[in-house]
């Protein structure tokens, strides 16, 4: 248990949220969760001691800190606002923590709106994968004032191995967009390089024999290429639709800052190709399939239909 008697709410029990919420309740915090059409994570968490409710308002009424782990800003705004929204249920002194990858402009507007009701807002987007979420070893980049960060840190540490204070509200989301720009840039680069290699007669396995263990290798490369090399669908469970959304947010941030962003737009367009081909539900490593198809090469793993 903790010194402070926080009660925690959690909305968004998908690939990442399920593991995060599991660690919160297992490490002693009373946890309220909102029902979801996918019953498996809900039932698992209830079995571990969580309480299920039906609306964001009820989550807020039972919590001093509420974590949101949803697709993006549109979903966060919908959860906060309205007669059954979080704002209607939260008490003054409560905190909303957005762990989604969101638009910093939207985050600033929500923070100001909640502040009028005496409710604080922090952004704590995530790094790493569902595997680390389950293990409680995610990275998180936190945008919050100093006092709020210190209040949140014990709860964040239930599911994060690295809790990094980035600065004020919105700075976590800004850094997350930069982080995803780099990782998704790698994905676009690897996909195009592997497609070009195959086109000129160098198989993905031979390509990998040079890159793996060399200076161009990295952890992202290793998970990304597990699809094309091994047909591992679960190596990096992050959808192409979410990647494309994040790159649009990056473009918006660059535009607002007056920064030319030619590489960011090129990366966005690589994912746009996959989106246009119906790949929104595919995972990021499957970008190789779409870039390969565009260039007349079949990169789908041999063990996949």
* Residue 296 to residue 293: CA distance in whole angstroms: 5
Contact partners, residue 200, CB within 8 Å, separation at least 6 = none
CA dist list (Å): 79 to 67, 110, 176: 11, 11, 21
Q: How many CB atoms lie within 10 A of CB 247?
A: 26
Please say if 205 is a catalytic residue: no
| Parallel, antiparallel or unpaired: strands 138-143 and 51-53 | unpaired
In the 3-class helix/strand/coil scheme, how is 226-252 assigned residue by residue?
A: HHHHHCCCCCCCCEHHHHHHHHHHHHH
- Pull the structure tokens for residue 215: 């200076």
Long-range pairs for 251-259 at CB < 8 Å and ≥24 separation?
A: 252/103, 252/105, 253/103, 253/104, 253/174, 253/177, 256/105
Among residues 22, 91, 153, 176, the one annotated as catalytic is: 176
List residues with catalytic annotation: 176
């Amino acid at each position: 248990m903790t010194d402070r008697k926080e009660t925690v709410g959690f909305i968004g029990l998908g690939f990442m949220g399920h593991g995060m919420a599991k660690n919160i309740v297992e490490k002693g915090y009373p946890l309220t969760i909102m029902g979801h059409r996918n019953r498996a994570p809900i039932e698992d968490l209830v079995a571990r001691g969580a309480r299920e409710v039906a609306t964001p308002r009820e989550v807020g009424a039972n919590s001093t800190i509420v974590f949101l782990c949803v697709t993006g800003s549109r979903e966060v705004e919908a959860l906060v606002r309205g007669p059954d929204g979080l704002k209607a249920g939260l008490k003054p002194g409560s905190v909303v923590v957005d762990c989604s990858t969101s638009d910093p402009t939207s985050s600033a507007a929500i923070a100001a709106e909640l502040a009028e009701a005496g409710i604080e807002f922090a952004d704590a987007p995530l790094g790493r994968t569902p595997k680390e979420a389950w293990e409680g070893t995610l990275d998180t980049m936190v945008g919050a004032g100093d006092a709020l960060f210190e209040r949140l840190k014990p709860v964040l540490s239930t599911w994060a191995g690295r809790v990094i204070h980035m600065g004020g509200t919105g700075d976590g989301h800004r850094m997350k967009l930069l982080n995803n720009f780099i990782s998704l840039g790698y994905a676009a680069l690897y996909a195009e390089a592997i497609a070009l290699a195959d086109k000129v007669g160098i198989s993905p396995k031979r390509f990998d024999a040079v890159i793996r263990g060399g200076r161009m290798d990295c952890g992202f490369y290793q998970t990304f290429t597990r699809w094309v090399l091994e047909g591992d669908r679960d190596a990096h469970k992050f959808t192409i639709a979410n990647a494309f959304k994040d790159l649009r947010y990056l473009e918006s941030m660059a535009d607002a800052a007056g920064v030319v962003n030619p590489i960011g737009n090129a990366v966005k367009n690589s994912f746009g190709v996959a989106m246009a081909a119906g790949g929104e539900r595919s995972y990021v490593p499957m970008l190789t399939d779409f870039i390969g198809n565009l260039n007349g090469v079949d990169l789908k793993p041999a063990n996949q239909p």
